[in-house]
Amino acid sequence: MNVLLNDFDTPPFAAITNENYKPAIKEAIALANKEIKAIVNNTQAPTFENTTVALDFSGEKLNKITSIFFNLNSAETNEEMQKIAQEVSPWLSEFRNDITLNAPLFKRIKTVYDSRKDLELTKEQQMLLEKQYKGFSRNGANLNEVDKNKLREIDAQLSKLSLQFGENVLAETNAFEMHLTAEKDLAGLPESAKEAAKQLAQEKNKKGYIFTLDYPSYIPFMTYADNRELRKKLAIANGKKGFKNNAHNNEKIVLEIVNLRHKRANLLGYKSHAAFILEERMAETPETVFNFSNELLEKAKPAALKEFKNLTDFANKLDGIQELQKWDGAYYSEKLKKEIFDLDQEVLKPYFQLENVIAGVFTIANKLFDLEFEETTTIQKYHEDVKTYHVTDTNGNFISVFYADFHPRKGKRNGAWMTSYKPQQIKNGINERPQVSIVCNFTKPVLSNDGVTPTKPSLLTFNEVTTLFHEFGHALHGMLANTTYNSLSGTSVSWDFVELPSQIFENWCYEKEALEIFAKHYETGEVIPMEYVEKIKASASFHEGMQTLRQLSFGLLDMQWHSKDPSNITSLKDFETAAFTDTKLYPDVAENAMSTAFSHIFQGGYSAGYYSYKWAEVLDADAFEYFLETGIFNKETATKFKEHILSKGGTEKPMELYKRFRGAAPKPDALLRRAGLI
C-alpha cells in the first residue's frame, strides 16, 4: 500500500520514497474527481451545504499529499523530485482547470450565489460563497469552450515554466563556488564567516575556504571582505543567475511567462495581469499601486540621494573610491554604520544564539497570545536538522504542530518562508488544528574535527533575528487560525495583507523589554547591554531612504512587467534598465539582470504583488504604534490583534478586520515617522 494514500495525521516522512509521489497524486486526483462528480450529480437542488461547503471540503487527500511533495521540493529536493514536479504540475493544473471549467458544477455554484440574499448567511459563509464564485468566474467558467481550452493550455505552460525558472535559479546557485586559499583574501571577514567557509571546503574535501551564493555565505562576504575585486566577482556571479549563455538561462522563460500571463488576463476580460491580480487585493487596481509607490518614492528619494552621496564621500575619504559600485554598498554601509553608531554586527552575534532566540520567540508568543511550545521527538521529520513542537494554549488545549528547519544544505532553496502541511478547519463539529512550518537558512553551528561536537553554536546576525521573527509571525497567523472553512483559514488572505502578521512581529526585536528575554551572551549569559539596544533602535532607520528606494524598485519592476502588454519586449535587460530609471542609485552592471532570478514574481506567488511588502509596512507601522501606545505586551491589544487579525484568516475583507482592530484605516505617517523620512 502506498504510504501517502493511508490515513495519517502528521506526514510519515520516514516511510515516503520518491516512488510514492506520482501514483499517490494520480490516485488522489481520481478521488477528488469522484467527490466533484458527487456534488454535480446530486439530484437535490443546489444549497450552500450540498454545493459550496461540499466543494470546500473536497480534495482533502490531494491537498495533503501535494503539500508534502511541494514543501519538500523546496526544502529537501533532488533531481528525481524536480523531474516528478515537472510531470505532476501539469496534471494538477489540468485538475484545477477541470474544476473551474466544469460547467454543471459552476451552474450549481451560480445558483447558490444568485440566491445569496435569501440565505441568511454569516459573514464567513458569504465570503466563502463569493470567493468560490469568483474562483470560477476569474478562472474562465464564463468562457466558451474554445477559450476554455486556450486557458487550460496557458495554465499548463505557466506551471511548467515557473518550475523550470526555479530549478534554473537553484542550479545556478549550486554551481558557483569561490575557492580561496590565501589568508590575505579573507581580510576583514569575521571569524564566524571564515569558520563556515572552512567547514564548507572540508565538506568538499578541499583545502582553504569556499564561499557560495547561499545567503549565509554571500552576505557576510559582501558586507565585510576588504578585497574589492573578490566582492565584485561574487556580486557579478550572483547577478548573473539565469542571465548566462547556458542551459539555465531564464531570459526566454521570463518573457514567455509575462506574455502568457497577459494573454490569460485578456482572455478573462482584464486589461493586464496586474488588473486581474489586484482586483482581489486590498489595493484593488494597478493605479492604486503606482500612486502608493510613487508617493513613497517622492518622500524617500531625496533622503536616498543624500544618503548615497554621504556613502560615496565616506568611501572616497576611506579608500579613494570615486564611484560606488553595487559590490561596495553593503561593505561601506556597514563601515559607516559602525562609525556613526559604533555598532558592529559581529559584536551583536554572541547575544543571538539560535536556541535562545527560538526560546525568546516562544516566550513573547506566550506573553502576547498565551501559547506554549514543547519540543517533541514523536513527530516524524524530513531531515535531522528539523525541530518539531506541540503547541498548546495555557489551558492545555492543543493549538498546532510546528516544524522549524533552520540551516542551509544542498537541495534546499535560499531564503526563508513559512508553509503548512495541513490547514485549520472545523469539520463535523471538530476543530481540526493546523500543521505549520518555517524554513530558514541560518549559519550552522561550528563543529570540531569529529564532525559532531559543536565548538560554537549557531549565532545569528541581527538581520537573521528579524527574519526568524518575520517567519514566526506568519506561523502565528497559521497556528492561531480559527475559521470554519480551510480555504479561508490562516494565511489564506489577500497578498497585501498576508505580510502584516509577519512584519509587525519584527518590531519586538527592537524593544528593550523583548530583547532582555532572549538576547543573552552565549558564553557568559550576560543580557545584551542597553547601549547596544539603543544603538540597534537608532540604527534601525539607517539608510532607510536607500532601503525604501530598493524595495520600491523591485515593486515597480514587478508592476512594469505585469501592468501592460509585454508582447513588444525583445530585450529583458533593456526593459529592466528602463524600469529602474527613477530608482537607480548605482551604475548598471552590463552582465547582470534582476529578473532572471526574481523568484518572488516568477516562481513564488508575488507577481503584481511585490509592492505588498511596502504596503504591509504601512499596516505594520500603524498597528505597532497601537502596541507602543498601550504597552508592547499589553494583553488587551494583543487579544484584539489575535481575535480580529490572526484568527480570522480571510473570512472578511482585510480592511474591515484591520479597522476593527485599530479603530481606523491605516495611514502611512507611522511608517514615515519610523523610517525617519518625516
Domain edges within the chain: 3-142, 176-239, 350-540
Residue 403's H or E segment, with its range, is strand 398-405
103, 105, 125, 107: which is closest to 116 by C-alpha?
Answer: 125
The predicted pLDDT at position 345 comes to 80
pLDDT at position 667: 85
pLDDT digits (tens, 9 = 90+) for 216-234: 899 999 999 999 999 999 9
Strand 435-439 and strand 417-422: the pairing is: antiparallel
Helix (H, G, I), strand (E, B) or coil at 392: strand
Q: Are strands 398-405 and 387-393 parallel, antiparallel or unpaired?
A: antiparallel
In the 3-class helix/strand/coil scheme, how is 331-343 assigned residue by residue? Answer: HHHHHHHHHHHCC
Q: What are the residue ranges of helices labelled H in 642-677?
A: 654-662, 669-674
Q: Please confirm, yes or no, whether 339 is among the known catalytic residues.
A: no
* pLDDT greater at residue 213 or residue 455: 213
pLDDT level of residue 77 (50, 70, 90 thresholds): very high
Share of the chain above pLDDT 90, in %: 88
Written as nine digits, the cell of 609 is 504583488
Tell me the C-alpha distance between 404 and 440, whole Å.
8
- Cell numbers found for residue 141: 467558467
pLDDT higher than threshold 80 for residue 267: yes
The CATH number of the domain covering residues in 3-142? 1.20.1050.40
pLDDT at residue 593, as a whole number: 98
pLDDT confidence of residue 75: 96
Q: How confident is the model at residue 605 (pLDDT cuts 50, 70, 90)?
A: confident
pLDDT at 232: 98
- pLDDT tens by residue, 552-572: 999 999 999 999 999 999 999
pLDDT band of residue 536 (cuts 50, 70, 90) is: confident
Selected from 3.30.360.10, 1.10.1370.40, 3.40.50.11540, 3.40.30.10, the CATH number assigned to the domain covering 350-540 reads 1.10.1370.40
Sign of CA dihedral 63, 64, 68, 71: positive
Confidence of residue 452 (pLDDT cuts 50, 70, 90): confident
Report the Cα 369 to chain-centroid distance in Å. Answer: 23
pLDDT tens column, 178-229: 999 999 999 999 998 999 999 999 999 999 999 999 998 999 999 999 999 9
Average pLDDT of span 346-364? 96
Write the CA distances from 116 to 45, 125, 133, integer angstroms: 14, 10, 11
Please name the residue that has the C-alpha cell 552592471. Answer: 589
pLDDT classification of 520: cutoffs 50, 70, 90: very high
Average pLDDT estimate for 21-29: 97
Give the C-alpha separation, 640 to 399, whole Å: 18
DSSP letters of 416-475? -EEEEEE--EEETTEEEPPEEEEE--PPPPEE-TTSSSEEE--B--HHHHHHHHHHHHHH
How does 334-357 read in b/e, with b if 16+ C-beta sit within 10 Å? bbbbeeebebbbbebbbbbbbebb
Set of cell numbers at residue 668? 502611512
Per-residue pLDDT averaged across 37-58, rounded?
97
DSSP 256: H
Which residue is listed with cell 437535490? 44
Contact between 192 and 459 (Cβ < 8 Å): yes
CA dist 370 → 424, 432, 476, 554, 647 (Å): 19, 19, 12, 38, 14
pLDDT for 258 beyond 90: yes
> Which residue of the set 76, 471, 511, 625 is catalytic?
471
Q: What is the pLDDT of residue 273?
A: 98
User: Would you say how long the chain is, in residues?
Assistant: 678
What does the mean pLDDT of the chain come to?
95
State the average pLDDT over residues 325-350: 92
**pLDDT (tens digit, 9 = 90+) per residue, 375-401?**
999 999 999 999 999 999 999 999 999
SS3 414: coil
**Could you give the CA distance from residue 633 to residue 653 in angstroms, rounded to a whole number?**
27
